[in-house]
Amino acid sequence: MYTTDANGFFRMEKKKRETNSYGSYTFLLDISHQSDRLFMNDYSYDYFYNNQETEEPKSLTSVHLFTDRSIYRPGQTVYFKGIVLTRNTREKTGGIKPNYATNVVLRDANYKEIDTIPVLTNEYGSFSGKFQLPQSGLNGQFTIMTKTDNGNAQFRVEEYKRPKFYVDYEPIKGTYEVNDKITVTGLAKAYAGNNVDGAMVKYRVVREPRFLYPWMFWRWWQPPTEEMEITNGEVVTDKDGKFKIEFTAIPDLRIDKKFEPVFDYRIYADVTDINGETRSGEKTVSVSYKSLILQTYIPARIPADSLKKLNISTRNMNGEFEPANITVVISPLKAENRLIRDRLWERPDQFVMNKDAYIRNFPYDEYDNEADFKSWEKNPAVFSKNDSSRMNGQWPVVHSGFSPGFYAVEVTAKDKKGQEVKDIQYIELYDEKSKKLSKPDYLWTGNMQTNVEAGKTAEVELGTAADSLFVVHQINKDISNKETNYKFLELSNQKEKFSFSTTPADKGGFGTNWIFVKHNRFYQLSQTITIPWTDKNLGIEYVTYRDKTLPGSEEKWKIRITGYQKEKLAAEMLATMYDASLDQFYSHGWGTPSIWPYFYNNKSWSGSMNFNQLQSQQKNESYDEMLYVDKRYDYLFSESLSFFEDRMMFRLANRAPAPGMVEADAVGSVAEQAEEKSLDKALTGKVSGLQVTKKDGDGVRDQTDTRTEGTLR
């Protein structure tokens, strides 16, 4: 029995459990207030595990392994390095672990242990070693791992060959339209510098459509975007190592021109030289019904006084800048001035009530699609300008000032053939100083400053157009998610900015949630305040470095390592050098170990209890007319019991005596006797010459008896 406080809040006591236990328990809530009672039919579950019931370890150890490459040949040497780190999530500390002893194991593609070596960390918490790969055996993914603390790294072992030449393509010149004949020129060139002539080229051209303007599909289904091979063939490289591929840019006629699709034609070429080595190259040519691509980039929501310029791009199908005369029209949208809840069902395709009658009866529900401001009616334009596009994409907007609200930004231009190209963006302009929202909304969020350095102030802005909201504000600064603070406040048709002062103790971040209920709906905003461990970062820079050198020559590079404030410190650095051409077989890269703990806001509230979705069912009144008729035909007995087809024979075939049940089977039961009589009756007039020999002498027909063939009558 619990009693809520003045804010209606209570906290359930933790059930005492044994230290090394795990499982769950369920409970129901029965809430009473004065003459009202709420009994929650849905069960609540509390799961617990032994690692949550015991005290968290003071320090967690992790091992991170690095290899000098990601692919090797059989018999080559694998050089590795390990770094051992410790981390305490409750105290928010971390570091290296010197004098840590463990064993490193090499396992093959079958996870069979190949070799093991002992290692011990130095004063920087690192160790290193090497393995000799076997000359024979199954190739594939190998693993090195530590015997303790789950350190592991994977790499490939393959009989690869370094490429001697590569395939490239010449740039596409000019622009094309659908049904044009396109010629693509490729080149096979050796890394040694010579041309690869007389090589066989097998190619294929694959077409795939895509769409540039999402606004075209707000009221339509997007057409299918299936790949299709439109041609293939073979050619031979000439004395210069070049080859030409010709194809016609056939469009997908299933896609309507009004959607302005772009067709990407991908040319895949496999070039095989006289030595049998094969290298591949790929080139994409984009073609459309129009030769100009017009795209506008505007943030979806910006302060009203910040709309000073637009980012407008005009390009040809090759992605090159294409000058064009563009017109920009900005029109305010006629807002739906009421609070609208999200639908719990699909939008209807037929309407029984008109909009006014519907809103009178359901004032907070959506009638058609008026919750989507993209469907709102446009008011007369408040800005219109014609000007040329610019290479940098910056397009100035000179206006005395836009009022807060929602706007449609329409940008139009024409390609070289005079065909109109259009892009539309919908944006929200809001007043940072106003306490009112641009449109009615239950939960609105403004600009947030949620990634700050320790000592700075984080900010979260939220607002509502609803009145008299009782809001629960949850703050969780415990990185283990065990301690949570709650605040209670009231919001009413306003915007509110929440500020969070941070200290060095908050590094790693913390979480905050807001929840409330309005008009029988549950609303929640969860936000993580990120406070990075910036002061733990190291600076790495080259003092001397040349990016070009001669084969066989010696090179010396000098690197400087400093602290966050450029201070001197003692550090150990790991570096590797390998042939970058191996990346085409298996890309090589290292991940940065996570030393310091970060907060993950995994606390959440749920408002779905006692509110479940159900499926309606229609009773079939003519069920008797649809009864399935089970047709049975005469058939022969078989020695294979799996061929028994009817239920009666199946039961009979599975009546073999189980171990320890011989006496009971010998006695038999009334049901078994009735079953045998039923079988005899079923066989009457059906078969002749059927004999059953009681081989085991138990008096029961079962799997151990010998059956002879019968003949149909």
Least confident of 46-50, 402-406, 656-660: 656-660
Quote the percentage of the chain above a pLDDT of 90.
51
Encode pLDDT of 335-387 as tens digits.
Answer: 888 999 998 888 888 999 999 999 999 999 999 989 888 889 999 999 999 99
Could you give the 3-state DSSP secondary structure of residue 593?
Answer: coil
Q: What is the DSSP string of 116-172?
A: EEEEE--TTSEEEEEEEPPSSS--EEEEEEESSTT-EEEEEE------SEEEEEPPP
Arithmetic mean of pLDDT, 650-661? 41
Task: Give me 682's structure tokens.
Answer: 């079923």
pLDDT at 674 over 50: no
What element of type H or E holds 106? strand 101-107
Write down the mean pLDDT value for the chain. 84
CB atoms within 10 A of CB 507: 22
Q: How many CB atoms lie within 10 A of CB 679?
A: 15
Place of tokens 């691509």: 293
The CA-atom distances, in angstroms, between 452 and each of 337, 456, 457 are: 37, 6, 7
Residue 664 confidence (pLDDT): 38
* Residue ranges in 202-284 assigned as alpha helix (H): none
Which band of pLDDT confidence, cut at 50, 70 and 90, is reported for residue 649? very low
Q: What tens digit of pLDDT does each residue of 235-278 get?
A: 999 999 999 999 999 999 999 998 889 999 999 999 999 999 99
Please give the Cα distance from 478 to 484 (Å, whole number).
7
Are the C-beta atoms of 263 and 392 separated by less than 8 Å? no
Q: Among 461, 451, 476, which residue's Cα sits nearest to residue 601?
A: 476
**Rounded Cα gap, residues 334 and 534, in angstroms:** 47
Residue 581 is predicted with a pLDDT of 82
User: Bridge partners of 157?
Assistant: 72, 140
pLDDT at residue 127 greater than cutoff 90: yes
* Model confidence at 438: pLDDT above 70: yes
CA distance 44 to 32: 18
Domains of the chain: 23-53 (no CATH), 165-288 (2.60.40.1940), 293-336+371-430 (2.60.40.10), 444-529 (2.60.40.1930), 641-712 (no CATH)
The position carrying tokens 């979705």 is 613
> What per-residue confidence (pLDDT) applies to 266?
96
**What's the alpha-carbon Rg for the chain, to the nearest Å?**
38
d(CA 595, CA 507): 13
User: At 8, is the pLDDT very low, low, confident or very high (cuts 50, 70, 90)?
Assistant: confident
Please give the C-alpha separations between residue 535 and each of 97, 469, 541, 564, in angstroms, as whole numbers: 20, 41, 17, 5
- At 226 the pLDDT is 87
Tell me the residue length of the chain.
713
Beta strand spans in 228-272 (E): 228-236, 242-248, 261-272
How far apart, in whole angstroms, are the C-alpha atoms of residue 167 and residue 265? Answer: 18
Q: Please spell the DSSP secondary structure of 534-584, one letter per residue.
A: GGG--EEEEEE--S---TT-----EEEEE-TTS-B-----------GGGGG
CB 430 within 8 A of CB 446: yes
Q: How many CB atoms lie within 10 A of CB 371?
A: 16
pLDDT above 90 for 87 = no
Mean pLDDT value across residues 146-172: 92
- Report pLDDT digits (tens) over 553-568: 888 889 999 998 889 9
pLDDT band at 19, cuts 50/70/90?
A: low
Confidence tier at 633 by pLDDT (50, 70, 90): confident
Q: What is the pLDDT of residues 475-527, one digit of tens each?
A: 988 765 556 788 899 999 999 999 999 999 899 899 999 999 999 999 999 99
Q: What pLDDT does residue 158 have?
A: 95
pLDDT of residue 2: 87
Nearest 10 degrees: CA dihedral of 478, 481, 482, 486?
70
Report yes or no: 676 and 700 within 8 Å, Cβ to Cβ. Answer: no
More confident residue, 669 or 322: 322
655, pLDDT greater than 50: no
SS3 681: helix
- pLDDT for 516 equals 95
Averaged pLDDT for residues 319-328: 92
> In the structure, what pLDDT confidence band is assigned to residue 18 with cuts at 50, 70 and 90?
low
Average pLDDT over residues 44-60: 58
Residue 620: pLDDT band (50, 70, 90) is low
* Residue 387, C-beta contacts closer than 8 angstroms, at least 6 positions apart: 325, 326, 328, 395
CA angle (145, 151, 156) in 5-degree steps: 50
